[in-house]
Amino acid sequence: MQLHLAPMEGVVNARMRALLTAIGGIDRCITEFVRITDQLLPARVFHRLCPELDHGCKTPSGTPVYIQLLGGEPGPMGENAARAASLGALGIDTNFGCPAKCVNRHRGGSVLLDEPELLYQIIKSMRSAVPDYVPVTAKIRLGFNDDSKLIDVVSAITEAGANGLTIHARTKADGYKPPAHWHQLAKVHQFTTIPVIANGEVWSPADYQSCRQQSACSDVMLGRGLLARPDLALEIKSLSSGKEYHRQQWPSILILLEALFKDSVANCAPRHVGGPIKQWLGYLRREYPEAQQLFEKIKRLKTPADISAALREHRDYQLTVAA
């Protein structure tokens, strides 16, 4: 069984991949999507979204990273897949699941789920352009407005030569509203021979077990659940192997937040420094009341100095409480 970290645009970038994979339990990451239109992109675009290319396409803790492409034209998708492979990508993923209107309006993401033949041509072009040893995978939803074409989509992607398929168990019309329909994935196994990875609404080890049972999938992709509980993958792996596990408490999470802030100070423009930590706190407060308290302290702060001071004050208070 493998656990994959979901490619969440604007959230799971290289620094977040580094932080989360360092905790353990994650077997594969996928980058935010590289938008492909009608041209071959320069190498710097791939390096910007996947700086891990400079280190064997792995995070600092050694977790493999696949590069994800998003586009609706078979030729350019194949050409750019070949470029990514030539730069050292360990795998090429394809985004057929993004529900964003601006993406769908330009024939990208989940809108393509209504065109199984086009999906076949895109994957076929990419598979033909990439060396056999580089996996080509795809990420989809159950469908666009409904799941009536799911089997056609799965069959097309399989016949085109894909090496794996992740299915977010909701349609585009569902958005991110609960529940995820894990049971819908169980039927696809009879129409494909490639690994199917289940995705959607896995917030806890109990959710993970339900997802596996209902979907009949061995592997699961974690997204928002892993951002809310950074050690969720490690907890799932530990419990699955029969080991006792004690969840990370807030002081350990605070160390991660401070590391993210230091990285933001070093690599972001001053006006953007607070964005990443505020964004992550938005997920963490689902599981940690202390995250909500810290978010209230910094949500209106803009300068690195003010945010840093608030972090120190929060840390000192936590130490006082612990004592």
Q: What residue type is assigned to position 275 of the chain?
A: G
Task: Name residue, tokens 């071959």.
Answer: 40
Q: How far is CA 161 from the centre of its chain?
A: 23
Between CA 125 and CA 121 the distance in angstroms is 6
pLDDT tens digits in sequence order for the chain, 323 residues long: 899 999 999 999 999 999 999 999 999 999 999 999 999 999 999 999 999 999 999 999 999 999 999 999 999 999 999 999 999 999 999 999 999 988 998 889 999 999 999 999 999 999 999 999 999 999 999 999 999 999 999 999 999 999 999 999 999 999 999 999 999 999 999 999 999 999 999 999 999 999 999 999 999 999 999 999 999 999 999 999 999 999 999 999 999 999 999 999 999 999 999 999 999 999 999 999 999 999 999 999 999 999 999 999 999 988 888 76
Strands (E), 89-240: 92-96, 136-141, 164-168, 196-199, 219-222
Q: Which of 98, 102, 211, 268 is catalytic?
A: 98
pTM above 0.75, yes or no: yes
Q: Is 102 a catalytic residue?
A: no
Q: Which of 157, 170, 232, 230 is nearest to 199 (CA)?
A: 170
Distance CA(5)–CA(26), nearest Å, equals 7
Tell me the β-bridge partners of 67. Answer: 92
